[in-house]
Amino acid sequence: MTVPVTPAGLGYTPADPAFIADPYPAFARLRADHPVIYDPATNQWLVARFADVLALLRDRRLGRSYVHVATHEEFGRTPPPAWQAPFEASQRLQLIDMEPPDHTRLRRLVSTAFTPRTVEGLRPRVTELVDGLVSAALERGAFDLLADLIEQLPVAVIAELLGIPPADRGQLRPWSADMTLMFELTRGEADERRAVQATVEFSDYLRTLVRDRRARPRADLLSELALVAEAGDRLSEDELIATAILLLNAGHEASVNGAANAWWTLFRHPQALAALRADPGLVPTAVEELLRFDTPAPMFERWVLEDIELHGITIPRGEELALLFASANRDPAQFANPDGLVLDRAPNPHLSFGAGIHFCLGAPLARLELGVLFRAILEQMPTLELVSEPAWKPRFVLRGLQALPVRVA
């Protein structure tokens, strides 16, 4: 009797710390022999190859959500319990979980704040913030590159952009960390309760702020959107609050993980780090390569809204796909020397920012932040070195390090 091959048998074990630390050998096995395979442990179909992930991201027979076209029952799913309603309601109004035409309308409203040109205008302020953070870290000598430096920047930038008062910004990371527990494959009820609680607190906080901005507008994105919301027909108050939550959370989670994972990669590739220090002009292509090499958000899900066929397998409506971005980014059919860190790789069509209609709205901002930050660290901290090997958080979907202890000589 032959034992059927399972993703777990190939090493795809999202709850296992060893897999989280290095999922790439399992991805290589999936890509080679099982480009699409059903995973009974997660009830998802895994898709591992670049060409498939890219095509599916552009395929309108799939959706980030299904609630706009079907009930939970029609999709064979158990409806979430009533106590999760605040989370569900907020999620449903976030543009990342919408499909056209609502997605198009909401994305258009916020996109002007994130075009490459508008974002380039933020460069002086981002540089100022980075310089302040780097100076403070240098004074300490030994510090956590993640908490003391990397994490501070995207949180400050997105909070300033929206107009969150400095005194309140300390809450953003914990709220986001708790809310995003709901996306983990291995979550338990305690995680779900934390996610719901954080949604309620975050939404209440933003409702007060939005109403204040509507009464007393300032020069920030929240005021601009609050005025659009007041006009009523294009943006409701609940949509505005959900949009602000999305921007604040998406505006730092992946950037923080991406930057910290990138430095961990550099510390493990001392020759590449030395080359980058010798020629900081490599930073723009290096940032792209580091985002490819260790993809900050390794997996995004899609629902099958109409039957699809993939490698001769029919996947019916109602099923869920796990698109393995991190595997796609190491696909030898797309990238020469995929497991090598090639700092001047160009072109570099990695999928770390996604593709299709949900392509990352914040990609220009993330690129600016990481570019300015990396250059400052390289130039102002030439002796930066790792103190001890970092540990990973027990999370796969929002995969990131717990800390990155470093020192400057």
Q: Which residues are catalytic?
A: 250, 253, 255, 360, 369
Whose Cβ is closer to ligand HEM: residue 107's or residue 345's? 107
Q: How many residues of this chain interact with ligand HEM, rule: CB under 6 A?
A: 27
Does 366 bind ligand HEM (CB under 6 A)? Our answer is yes
Q: How far apart are CA 62 and CA 320, in angstroms?
A: 9
Does 362 bind ligand HEM (CB under 6 A)? Our answer is yes
Does 254 bind ligand HEM (CB under 6 A)? Our answer is yes
Q: Which two tokens stand for residue 164?
A: 């969150």
The correct pick among 292, 358, 375, 399 for binding ligand HEM (CB under 6 A) is: 358
Q: How far apart are CA 50 and CA 332, in angstroms?
A: 9
Please report, as residue ranges, which positions from 306 to 325 form the binding site for ligand HEM (by CB under 6 A): none
Whose Cβ is closer to ligand HEM: residue 10's or residue 129's? 129
Does 35 bind ligand HEM (CB under 6 A)? Our answer is no
Please report, as residue ranges, which positions from 232 to 251 form the binding site for ligand HEM (by CB under 6 A): 246-247, 250-251
CB 277 within 8 A of CB 382: yes
Write the single-letter amino acid at 189.
E
Per-residue binding string, ligand HEM, 78-97, x by CB under 6 A, is -----------------xx-
The correct pick among 175, 352, 377, 399 for binding ligand HEM (CB under 6 A) is: 352
By beta-carbon distance, which residue lies closest to ligand HEM?
Answer: 362
Q: How far apart are CA 328 and CA 59, in angstroms?
A: 16
Does 64 bind ligand HEM (CB under 6 A)? Our answer is yes
Q: How far apart are CA 296 and CA 105, in angstroms?
A: 28
Whose Cβ is closer to ligand HEM: residue 96's or residue 195's? 96
- The minimum distance between CB 155 and ligand HEM, in angstroms, equals 10
Cβ-in-10-Å burial (0-12, 13-18, 19+) of 265 comes to middle
CB 60 within 8 A of CB 68: no
Phi then psi dihedrals of residue 300, to 5 deg: -125, 150
Phi then psi dihedrals of residue 297, to 5 deg: -115, 95
Does 152 bind ligand HEM (CB under 6 A)? Our answer is no
Reduced to 3 states, what is the DSSP secondary structure of residue 313?
Answer: strand
The correct pick among 255, 261, 327, 329 for binding ligand HEM (CB under 6 A) is: 255
Question: Using CB under 6 A as the criterion, which residues of the chain lie in contact with ligand HEM when the complex forms?
Answer: 64, 95-96, 107, 114, 154, 158, 246-247, 250-251, 254-255, 258, 291, 296-297, 300, 352-354, 358, 360-362, 365-366
